[in-house]
Structure 1
């Protein structure tokens, strides 16, 4: 169970300029944390994402420019913090995933975990990964998949699934180093993050049709993803990896709705009654996270969690 109060805890969020990071900063401040918001390669104009901070009025917030490829800047941002929430954001000059992005993401993960190992105050790291680091392999379809499974790196390379390749190799690198350095780390393997700026070019969507057919195409809402990060950080019993999603695209209607959202101008294909009524078996389990969040919510640490999160789909 989580401790009753976090008013004296200091945590770092990196990269705080991304959509997940900026919302994590906001939520952590709301529940009493002091936050080191580490932004990379972005000109800071007094706001992170939708958050505006005027003239340092919020004494619990400190902004750092931390480049994951600059070790010293990471250690500066981590100084005095008991925890780190880390999510990789592609460099501004290379915003899309390609065959070289895995090297960048691995190097960043290695630097960040090593910096945590050199920071005496760090008690826990929450590492943001992706469901794409779980679902891809030559042996699809398997009967079921959960956090114990890893995407096959060679398969990802063969099919040019660069997002899955990067997330898998970077997360494996982080785990190997965390175990070697004795760092308490948990990972959140999120589904496709839904939101207003989602487009068909999102690298997660490479292979979307296959994920749909295999029953492994999952999405997550921002509030649910943020709460999951805070839950696994605060709960002392959390361990290992957590698949994080609250919707499964496994009906033809769901797939059509998502396609409309991603490409509004493209006409929807006609569907037969049989297609409309087909439900593909969900083969990805989020029970591990659901159980932790149920226990956590009953402790009252995330008092607004139940209002923010839609009902999860059981399998």
Structure 2
């Protein structure tokens, strides 16, 4: 009898199946690893981006990890998304173009985001969406230099992004806004994680184009106190916490540090070598420290008491 009760208790605490789409992105891969380490069964949905190093790692993991199932998905094909979501309790959405961003990419990623959210609405099992967006969806507008606080209520100005050719920021703004509009219309439980510039192991080699796309306008971000960085392991953990905590709602700014001094700018350039080099003017610049404008009180509450 005790053995039966013990097995029943184990089943009650069994982790649900979740889906990561696109698991072959840099962020998606770290979320996948975090979920597996916590005992979740994971559907890894991979877009057709060729046999990248991350894709090969995921394929290798599938051969030894019973709780990992890998499938190929096309975010412009609604039915392939539905197939990938089958049996999943939650979706971690991580859409990034590995080839970088230009004006032609804008419509494609927005359409993909809409298809993903709509597919979630049509499934019977998805109970929560964790949508990975970017701080660049909140920090770009004409008068940002005069603002004191930038928080989850802030959105980037789409026309300003077009004018300045900030394609990454424009894509992330449009995609997130479209996802939110559809999620609210379909009454879906969704949270978004607005991440700073993602840093982590071999980031310059494994995520070069996305990293450089984020850094469009880096000098202005730096001078306006809105250039922030986040460790990919921390970002993955925040994703999982946002899913597990039933009280989470809305947007969450996610970053570890704001780069607002010459010393921090030098550290950032060094961490991204050889992708970027330190601009000469920073090498001879004074010790000015720019005021931090980003606020992440919601994130602090979510990860309260945790040491990283």
Query: Could you say which residue in structure 2 is the equivalent of 1:313?
Result: none
CA distance change for structure 1 residues 39 and 77 in 2, over 3 Å: closer, same or farther?
Answer: same
- Could you say which residue in structure 2 is the equivalent of 1:279? 289
> Which one of the candidate residues 136, 140, 147 is aligned to 2:140?
136
| TM-score, normalised via structure 2 length | 0.87
Classify 1:30/1:191 alpha carbon distance in 2 versus 1 (closer, same or farther; 3 Å): same
Alignment of 1:294-313 (within 5 A): 294=304, 297=306, 306=307, 309=308
Per-residue Cα deviation, 1:56-93 (whole angstroms, up to 9, x for no partner): 44221111111111111110110111100001122x6x
Tell me whether 1:223 sits opposite 2:228 in the alignment. Answer: no
Who is 2:72 aligned against? 65
Deviation at 1:54, TM superposition (A): 5.9
Partner SS, residue 203 of structure 2: coil
Distance 2:37 2:254 in 1: 23
Question: How many residues matched?
Answer: 291
Task: Determine the C-alpha separation between the residues in 2 that align with 1:52 and 1:128.
Answer: 23
Q: Contact conserved, 2:62 with 2:68, CA < 8 A, in 1?
A: no
Unaligned stretches of 5+ in structure 1? Answer: 298-305, 310-315
Map of 1:96 onto structure 2: 100
State the alpha-carbon separation in 2 of the partners of residues 79 and 271 from structure 1.
51
Is 2:185 aligned against 1:180? yes
More deviation, 64-73/50-59: 50-59
- Superposed displacement of residue 8, structure 1: 3.5
> Aligned runs of 1:1-315 on 2, under 5 Å?
7-43=14-50, 48=55, 50-51=57-58, 53=60, 56-90=63-97, 95-141=99-145, 142-195=147-200, 196-198=202-204, 202-264=212-274, 269=280, 275-276=286-287, 278-294=288-304, 297=306, 306=307, 309=308
Task: Report the Cα offset of residue 6 of structure 1.
Answer: 5.7
Deviation at 1:101, TM superposition (A): 1.3
- Whole-angstrom CA distance in 1 between matches of 2:221 and 2:100: 20
Distance 1:256 1:175, change over 3 A: same
What stretches of structure 2 of length at least 5 have no aligned partner?
1-11
Q: Is the 8 A contact 2:62 2:69 kept in 1?
A: no
Distance change in 2, residues 1:6/1:223 (3 Å): farther
1:227 Cα deviation after fit: 0.5
Provide the C-alpha distance between the structure 1 equivalents of 2:239 and 2:286, rounded to a whole number of angstroms.
36
Matched residue of 2:129: which SS?
strand
Superposition deviation, residue 46 in structure 1: 11
* 6-15 or 147-156, larger mean C-alpha shift: 6-15
